[in-house]
Amino acid sequence: GLEGCDSSRAARLANVLNFARFHLAELLPELRRVVWVDCDVIVQRPMDDLWEAAGAAFADGGGLFSAFAEPGRFGRFYLDEGAVKRLMQKRFQGLPEIDMEGESFNDGVIAIDLQRWRDVGAAQAVAGLMRAHREAEPGLWKYGTQPLTMLLGAAYGWSRLDPGAYCGDLGFETVVDQRWEQAVFLHFDGELKPWRPGGLNKELWWPYAELAQAF
């Protein structure tokens, strides 16, 4: 599922720890919900409001995830959109056909309803989808975990977090406005991460990196 990646990105995305988010319900059996944050994310403000918003959405039946929506089309990750649609309708009886032109979300910062995960058997669903992916040639999707997480969101539902709390794509492009100042999360997703030669938005990353080094 790493088609379209250069060799360094493929190696990073294939790391087993990248898939740890799919095992949190098992690893943290005493918790009902959790916020997963990728290692290329800075949390620069308290996330209390988002934690409460996600909890309220889950209590109201808001799905398996609370996440930040992205403008890109849902289907951009899938190598054979028709095959993915058929797989999802077979695996999840009664699921409406996935709209590949619809909205997507980023799984680098995501609230997960662990109790619902256990109740619906999401771990078994992940295993089944991954099995189908491995058996397909050259695979059903690309780019690591996000395509799989989005399929789970399509199957079990997801709710939207306040977009003003998230500033992403900071490893893809130079930030040109001040939206990062009020964001809770700064996400340096992309290949031009600030600690790499030629990386972007170093001025946003390094103050926090230097602070961490002081400890």
Residue 170 three-state SS: coil
What was the pLDDT predicted at 152?
Answer: 98
Give CA–CA dist 147/1, Å, rounded.
10
What is the tally of helices (H) and strands (E) in the chain? 9, 7
Q: CB–CB of 80/3 below 8 Å? A: no
Give CA–CA dist 168/153, Å, rounded.
20
Q: CB–CB of 136/81 below 8 Å? A: no
* Residue showing tokens 């079990």: 156
Q: CB–CB of 189/171 below 8 Å? A: yes
Give CA–CA dist 162/139, Å, rounded.
33
Q: What is the pLDDT along the chain (215 residues), one digit of tens a residue?
A: 444 445 565 566 667 788 899 999 999 999 999 999 999 999 999 999 999 999 999 999 989 999 999 988 999 999 999 999 999 999 999 999 999 999 999 999 999 999 999 999 999 999 999 999 999 988 999 878 999 999 999 999 999 999 999 999 999 999 988 889 999 999 999 989 999 999 999 999 999 999 888 77
Alpha-carbon torsion angle 183, 177, 5, 65, nearest 10? 30
| 31's tokens | 């918790």
What was the pLDDT predicted at 41?
Answer: 97
What was the pLDDT predicted at 4?
Answer: 45
Q: Look up the pTM and report it.
A: 0.92
* Residue showing tokens 């709710």: 159
